[in-house]
Amino acid sequence: MIAIPLTAFLLVAAVLFAIGLYAVIAQRTAVMVLMGIELLLNATGLNLVAFWRFTAPQDYSGQIFVIIIVTIGAIEMAIGLAIMMLLYRRHQTVQVDKYKELKG
């Protein structure tokens, strides 16, 4: 039996989520913003696994959800990097506050 309460895991996830939020807003480089998003996804994953373990350990749907989230995270990273390279070629910078217009 696990001695640690569910709330402990949720607290860790909450702290991770807050830090990820800070990174997404405050970081200036596009890659760092992507990394902040990864952290947000990760906090969500931790919550999902914790709820799976404590409330429905016989139903593995929670883990499937996390697998899908990790996959989406990988795709997001690949596409994000591709877009970033494109923007770099266009604007010669990766700092997000330099992108003043959406039109290429």
Partner 1 sequence: MPVKTPFLLEEATEMEVSPVLQWAAFGIFAFISIAGALGMATTMSMFRSGIFLMASFIGVAGLFILLLADLLALLQIMMYIGGMLVMILFMLLFSGDPGGGMMSTHMRLRGPEWFFSLGLARSPSGTDGNNANDSSDKEEDQRDQARDSHQEEGEKEESNDMSMFTPAKRGAAGLALGIGVLLIALLLWRPHWAVVAQMPDPDSPRRIGHLLMDKYMIAFEGAGLLILLGIFGAVLLQRPGKYPDSAHREELRAAVEDAPAPVKTDPLKPLGLDRDREK
Q: Which of residues 9-28 bind partner 1 (CB under 8 A)?
A: 9-12, 14-23, 25-28
Report in angstroms how near the CB of residue 102 gets to partner 1 at its nearest: 16
Q: Which of residues 27-56 bind partner 1 (CB under 8 A)?
A: 27-29, 31-32, 34-36, 38-39, 42, 45-46, 49-50, 52-56
Task: Report in angstroms how near the CB of residue 86 gets to partner 1 at its nearest.
Answer: 5
Nearer to partner 1 by Cβ, of 28 and 102: the residue is 28
CA distances to 8, 18, 22, 41, 45 from 51, rounded to whole Å, are 12, 19, 25, 15, 10
Tell me how far, at minimum, the Cβ of 38 lies from partner 1, in Å.
7
SS3 call for 1: coil
Q: Please, which of residues 58-97 interact with partner 1 by CB under 8 A?
A: 58, 60-61, 63-64, 66-68, 70-75, 77-79, 81-86, 88-90, 92-97
The residue type found at 74 is: A
Calpha distance 88→82 (Å, rounded): 10
CA distance 86 to 69: 26
Q: Which token pair is 24?
A: 């997404």
